[in-house]
Amino acid sequence: MPTDSVQTDSVKTFDKLYIGGQWVPSTGSGSIDVINAATEQVMGRIPEGTADDVDRAVAAARDAFESWSQTDSSERSKFLQALADGLGARNQEIAETICGEVGMPMFLSQLVQAGLPTAVAGSYVAILDDFDFEEELGNSLVIKEPVGVVGCITPWNYPLHQIIAKVAPALAAGCTVVLKPSEVAPLNAFILAEIIDGIGLPAGVFNLVSGVGPVVGEAIAAHPDVDMVSFTGSTRAGKRVSELAAQTVKRVALELGGKSANILLDDLEGEDLEKAARAGVGSCYLNSGQTCTAFTRMLVPRDKHDQIVDILRDEVENVYTIGDPATGAGRLGPLISDAQRERVRGYIQKGIEEGATLVVGGPDQPEDLPTGYYVKPTVFAGVDNSMTIAQEEIFGPVLSVIPYDDEDDAVRIANDTVYGLSGGVWSADTDRAKRIARRIRTGQLEVNGGGFNALAPFGGYKQSGNGRELGTYGLEEFLQTKALQL
């Protein structure tokens, strides 16, 4: 076992940070407990990093940048392949760790929380092989070169995926990285650092400083030697990152909140309607609703509202069971923390108070699950888009069914939000669905349940952020453009 970690009584303790290619103590003396979402017991412990630790990490990244930025892309590609292989080799450990940290059931944790980061890391091997870093334009040679030292600040809901979605393309571009993972679900980031240490990435190219946002995150965002910050998290925190980064005019990429609309068009009938409605529940409840792209607003034809609500009730009551994620006892696991559970319960209560019809679920703790941060999967019917539950990101298993009058009304409601991250459109006519999708101001839309594509650009409009992740688009976020006039 690496010298940075100690396993005692099922509590995995990491007592060092990864800076400059070495495991080193924090300059502070604090530590942060990591809580298992299902048992409410301490499962891990990490250093509570300081601003001085950030200074050390940024200095190491700055020192490593000159050499790393000049490496051939084929050399960087080899490291990315080794990283993907290392992630794949520890799939089970990663899945179990994130299952505990976040509460996603094991079968999904293996596929999504562990499997997706491996695939994304590997995707940049092929992307680098085909990417042109130079082009001739008249008498100019246009060069794309790494932006510099990148600060990556990542969330807890898909912790390793969000890390890899930033770190892999940053490394591919030739940037060096200082990572601050979420202090709520950080153990997976330390596993990543162990893998990176094992593949021999040059010292200082990747650095890990754990800690809390107001200390470590703000130090990264404000640091004069950080050239770019890539942040995923709440819109409130993203605004703070932008404020701090503006003082040094550094580049900022933000992937923030969402309140995505899923439009079921009026031409759906019979099995097609039932399929769309049932799929919509899954699109809302993935990861117990702790998903920025969750389709939390289902927009339905007014004359089919009650029919669709009956389908949703049946789906939730008979399919979306909740239980211990480690044993696969339920389709849904707990929420991440007590604070998040209370937040979601508050929104459910608010929906009741504002007059929405509670179809299934509610704010009470499930009777058979007294321990764990569980929230009953909840559906509200007859929701008006002006209600709090239709306007604010809840980040829990809460679906709002909103009736609309016609196609234009559906588009108006879908766009009536400060967010613009994702959404869906279902129709018996695919061309009609695509026409509607073009009118929705979001970064991604699923047409008739189209699947996730790890090579397609991911990011938002409006207060869902700026910039794009994944695929070639994600690589280009970490590149500057220079013109040599010849």
Task: State the Cα–Cα distance between residues 139 and 143, nearest whole angstrom.
Answer: 13
Q: 14 with 78, same domain?
A: yes
HSE-up of residue 451 (Cα within 13 Å, Cβ side): 3
CATH (domain of 314): 3.40.309.10
What is the structure's pLDDT at 1? 40
What is the structure's pLDDT at 9? 58
Q: 151 with 123, same domain?
A: yes
Phi, psi of 27 (to 5 degrees): -75, -10
Task: State the Cα–Cα distance between residues 57 and 208, nearest whole angstrom.
Answer: 8
The residue from 255, 315, 393, 446 that is catalytic is: 255
CATH (domain of 23): 3.40.605.10
Task: State the Cα–Cα distance between residues 381 and 357, nearest whole angstrom.
Answer: 5
Q: 91 with 157, same domain?
A: yes
Q: Which residue in this structure is represented by tokens 């967010």?
A: 419
Task: State the Cα–Cα distance between residues 49 and 26, nearest whole angstrom.
Answer: 6
Q: 105 with 213, same domain?
A: yes
Phi, psi of 61 (to 5 degrees): -65, -40
Helix segments in 103-258, DSSP class H: 106-108, 115-130, 159-173, 187-198, 218-222, 235-246
Nearest to 183 by CA among 207, 163, 210, 157: 210
Task: Please state, in angstroms and as integers, the Cα–Cα distance from residue 450 to each residue in 276, 429, 447, following that order.
Answer: 12, 14, 5
Task: State the Cα–Cα distance between residues 319 and 379, nearest whole angstrom.
Answer: 14
For the whole model, what pTM was predicted? 0.96
Phi, psi of 37 (to 5 degrees): -65, -25
99 has catalytic annotation: no
Residues 6+ away with beta carbon under 8 Å from 46: 13, 14, 31, 32, 34, 183, 186, 187, 190, 210
Asked if residue 359 lies in contact with residue 380, where contact means CB atoms within 8 angstroms, the answer is yes
pLDDT tens track for 102-134:
999 999 999 999 999 999 999 999 999 999 999
175 has catalytic annotation: no
Q: 410 with 347, same domain?
A: yes
According to DSSP, the residues that pair with 254 across neighbouring strands are 231, 466
The residue from 99, 152, 175, 292 that is catalytic is: 292
Q: 424 with 472, same domain?
A: no
Q: 229 with 281, same domain?
A: no
Q: 362 with 410, same domain?
A: yes
Q: 323 with 181, same domain?
A: no
Task: State the Cα–Cα distance between residues 464 and 474, nearest whole angstrom.
Answer: 16
Vertex 105: Cα angle to 84 and 17 (nearest 5): 50
Domain span including residue 80:
5-256+463-485
According to DSSP, the residues that pair with 180 across neighbouring strands are 153
Q: 211 with 94, same domain?
A: yes
Per-residue pLDDT of the chain (486 residues; tens, 9 = 90+): 444 566 655 899 999 999 999 999 999 999 999 999 999 999 999 999 999 999 999 999 999 999 999 999 999 999 999 999 999 999 999 999 999 999 999 999 999 999 999 999 999 999 999 999 999 999 999 999 999 999 999 999 999 999 999 999 999 999 999 999 999 999 999 999 999 999 999 999 999 999 999 999 999 999 999 999 999 999 999 999 999 999 999 999 999 999 999 999 999 999 999 999 999 999 999 999 999 999 999 999 999 999 999 999 999 999 999 999 999 899 999 999 999 999 999 999 999 999 999 999 999 999 999 999 999 999 999 999 999 999 999 999 999 999 999 999 999 999 999 999 999 999 999 999 999 999 999 999 999 999 999 999 999 999 999 999 999 999 999 999 999 999
Task: State the Cα–Cα distance between residues 426 and 449, nearest whole angstrom.
Answer: 7
Q: 239 with 269, same domain?
A: no
Task: State the Cα–Cα distance between residues 293 and 26, nearest whole angstrom.
Answer: 35
Helix segments in 319-477, DSSP class H: 338-353, 388-391, 407-415, 430-439, 471-476
Q: 192 with 274, same domain?
A: no
What is the number of domains present in the chain?
2
